[in-house]
Amino acid sequence: MIFCSLGQLVQWLQNHLLPCPLKYLTGIDCPGCGFQRSVIALLKGNLKESLHLYPAAIPFILTALFVAVDAYRGIDNSGLIKKTAYLITGNIMLISYVIKLYHLYA
């Protein structure tokens, strides 16, 4: 039952992807392009494809989950863990975006 529901959710998500306004207007991928497809690949259990589509998806999801839990439980009083997670996730986003643009226009 759960797997059937997950399969239906994945199918629904694949049919309802949000278009990127920056790519629509300029033809250039934004730093978030690939995130939706990466999450769908994760839901399908395809880690390698997910990392290929958007390397920052897993760190972003983990950071978001930690921030949500911290807001509820108050785990990180100093904010150091959140700041570190933000920096790591942001750097992965930036580096993967620069690499994507380099391969696209080189």
Total number of domains in the chain: 1
Q: Which residue type occupies 9?
A: L
Domain span at 36: 2-105
Which of 4-18, 36-50, 80-94 is the least confident region? 4-18
User: At how many degrees (to 10) do helices 80-105 and 57-73 cross?
Assistant: 160
Q: Which residue has the higher pLDDT, 12 or 90?
A: 90
Q: Which residue has the higher pLDDT, 105 or 54?
A: 54
Q: What is the Cα Rg of the chain in Å?
A: 16
Q: Which residue type occupies 105?
A: Y
Q: Give the pLDDT band of residue 97 (cuts 50, 70, 90).
A: very high
Q: How does pLDDT run across 15-47, given as a tens digit for each residue?
A: 988 899 998 999 888 999 999 999 999 999 999
Phi, psi at 29, each rounded to 5°: -60, 145
Mean pLDDT of all residues in 52-59: 95
